[in-house]
């Protein structure tokens, strides 16, 4: 929610509440005729308290409650406007330091979002609840982590917040700082003892978020054994798809992160729920640097997924001649087939990737392997479009394709 939208909502609330207080006061006056309702009732000579009309008492209580709500709304406006003096005066009048808007965004969260250290100090001194969350479970510390405010976070730490509180997504302040690319916030939270092993609803960890974002500055402290005591087992943790941090780094083409994870002991041949390895994701995403590092660290080039696809078949289907050449040099089988009996050559021929087909044929690819439907590379090349590539057709025929 934007600051301007929230401010307009709170201002409207102040005006509405102000009118409500007046109405309550008038009703109290009308119903209290013949009684002293405007001041404290005097005691009769018997020194027994005079009876108070229950209706008047209820209306008086409602008027006080409305007045309190008006003060709270004015406090939110003061915090939104960074008016520390006004906020201090309102707190002195008994405004609630835990006042919040209709979305349960507290005054403290608004102050943190605004980056006002003086306001944060004032509210915390007034006993604002540092762990109060909005309707999505976001706390003041999470807000500070989101904006990477390294100046405000120590102030919040003094109030002893729950470092590992989670929002509706299962995210902690550390998760959010990592996801938002705020390395200083990550370092501060880790130094305070934030749990790096907390995972969200999808099974994502802080390591996975840093890997997906390609954030070396955040990944550095997360992989520092002196800080997080990270182990190989930690790096083998997978999300609901079966992806490890290494899978995420490869899928998003972050070779620098891939190197960091491999050096930290990540399993280079980890498989997801579909049998895909980091090397397969690298081949699919055209991350040549990732392929180089993975194969240098022992990635098995001929591992196949549940559907039988291999890194070479994926690279060929992407038309990536450079990756195809590298994988062939590292021992990839040019005649490996999927469950549908597709080969790397058939995939290249169907898409018109002549250079890829040349490299595969030079490496011994069989041009006459048939798919489960009985189609060869030549047949697929012929049916690939209304105007098949004549260069591809000639290449395949010269190789003996039928």
Give 128-137 pLDDT, tens digit per residue: 999 999 999 9
**Taking phi first (over 0 means left), then psi (-120 to 50 degrees means alpha), and beta for anything else, what does residue 122 get?**
alpha
pLDDT at residue 54 in the model = 72
* Closest CA relative to residue 213, chosen from 186, 183, 252, 182: 252
User: For 103-132, what is the mean pLDDT?
Assistant: 97
User: Comparing 58-62, 102-106, 253-257, which segment has the lowest mean pLDDT?
Assistant: 58-62
Query: How many residues would you count in the chain?
Result: 402
The CATH architecture assigned to 304-402 reads Alpha Horseshoe (1.25)
Per-residue pLDDT, 56: 58
Domain boundaries, the chain: 1-24+64-131+143-161, 240-300, 304-402
pLDDT > 80? residue 36: no
Domain 1-24+64-131+143-161 has CATH 1.25.40.20: yes
pLDDT score of 385? 75
In the block, residue with structure tokens 């690298």 = 282
Kindly report the number of other CB atoms within 10 A of residue 141's CB atom: 31
**Chain segment 281-301, per-residue pLDDT in tens:** 999 999 999 999 999 999 999
The span from the CA of 366 to the CA of 198, in Å, is 50
Residue 62 has pLDDT above 80, yes or no: no
Residue 353 DSSP SS3: coil
- pLDDT-derived band of residue 14, with 50, 70 and 90 as boundaries? very low
Q: Say if residue 250's pLDDT is above 90.
A: yes
Q: What angle (nearest 5°) sits at the alpha carbon of residue 391, between those of residues 385 and 393? A: 65
pLDDT of residue 379: 96
**What's the pLDDT band for 384 if we cut at 50, 70, 90?**
confident
3-class SS of residue 51: coil
- pLDDT top residue among 81 and 54: 81
pLDDT single digits (tens) 205-221:
999 999 999 999 999 99
Return the pLDDT at 376.
96
Evaluate whether 1-24+64-131+143-161 and 240-300 have a shared fold.
Answer: yes
Mean pLDDT over the full length of the chain: 88
What does the DSSP 8-state code read for residue 100? B
Of the candidates 180, 191, 267, the one whose C-alpha atom is nearest the C-alpha of residue 222 is: 191
Q: What's the confidence (pLDDT) of residue 55?
A: 63
Span 62-70, average pLDDT: 69
Whether 44 shows a pLDDT value over 80: the answer reads: no
What pLDDT does 26 receive? Answer: 33
CB atoms within 10 A of CB 390: 8
Instruction: Report the pLDDT value the prediction gives residue 160, as an integer from 0 to 100.
Output: 97
pLDDT of residue 356: 98
Question: What is the second-level CATH architecture of the domain 240-300?
Answer: Alpha Horseshoe (1.25)
pLDDT in tens, 294-323: 999 999 999 999 999 999 999 999 999 999
Say if CB 2 and CB 11 are below 8 A apart.
no
Q: Looking at residues 172-191, what average pLDDT do you find?
A: 96
């Amino acid at each position: 929610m934007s600051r301007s939208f929230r401010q307009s909502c709170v201002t409207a609330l102040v005006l509405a509440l102000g009118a409500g207080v007046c109405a309550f006061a008038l009703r109290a006056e009308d119903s209290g005729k013949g009684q002293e309702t405007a001041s404290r009732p005097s005691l009769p000579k018997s020194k027994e308290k005079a009876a108070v009309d229950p209706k008047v008492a209820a209306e008086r209580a409602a008027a006080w409650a409305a007045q309190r709500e008006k003060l709270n709304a004015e406090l939110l406006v003061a915090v939104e406007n960074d008016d520390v003096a006004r906020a201090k005066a309102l707190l002195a009048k008994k405004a609630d330091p835990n006042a919040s808007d209709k979305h349960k965004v507290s005054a403290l969260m608004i102050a943190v979002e605004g980056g006002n250290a003086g306001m944060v100090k004032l509210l915390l001194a007034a006993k604002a609840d540092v762990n109060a969350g909005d309707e999505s479970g976001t706390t003041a510390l999470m807000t500070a982590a989101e904006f990477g405010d390294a100046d405000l976070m120590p102030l919040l730490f003094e109030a002893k917040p729950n470092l590992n509180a989670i929002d509706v997504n299962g995210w902690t302040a550390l998760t959010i700082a990592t996801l938002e690319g705020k390395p200083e916030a990550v370092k501060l939270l880790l130094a305070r003892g934030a749990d790096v092993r907390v995972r969200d609803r999808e099974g994502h960890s802080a390591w996975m978020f840093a890997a997906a974002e390609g954030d070396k500055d955040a990944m550095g402290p997360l992989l520092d054994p002196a800080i997080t005591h990270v182990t190989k087992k930690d790096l083998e943790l997978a999300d609901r798809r079966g992806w490890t941090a290494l899978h995420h780094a490869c899928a998003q083409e972050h070779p620098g992160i891939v190197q960091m994870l491999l050096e930290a002991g990540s399993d280079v041949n980890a498989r997801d729920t579909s049998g895909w390895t980091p090397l397969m994701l690298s081949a699919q995403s055209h991350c040549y640097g990732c392929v180089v590092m993975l194969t240098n660290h022992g990635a098995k080039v001929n591992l196949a997924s549940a559907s039988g696809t291999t890194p070479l078949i994926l690279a060929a289907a992407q038309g990536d001649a450079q990756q195809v050449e590298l994988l062939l040099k590292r021992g990839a089988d040019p005649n490996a087939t999927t469950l549908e009996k597709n080969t790397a050559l058939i995939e290249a021929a169907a898409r018109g990737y002549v250079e890829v087909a040349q490299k595969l044929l030079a490496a011994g690819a069989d041009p006459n392997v048939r798919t489960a439907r009985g189609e060869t590379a030549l047949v697929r090349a012929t049916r690939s479009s209304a105007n098949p590539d004549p260069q591809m057709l000639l290449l395949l025929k010269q190789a003996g394709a039928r």
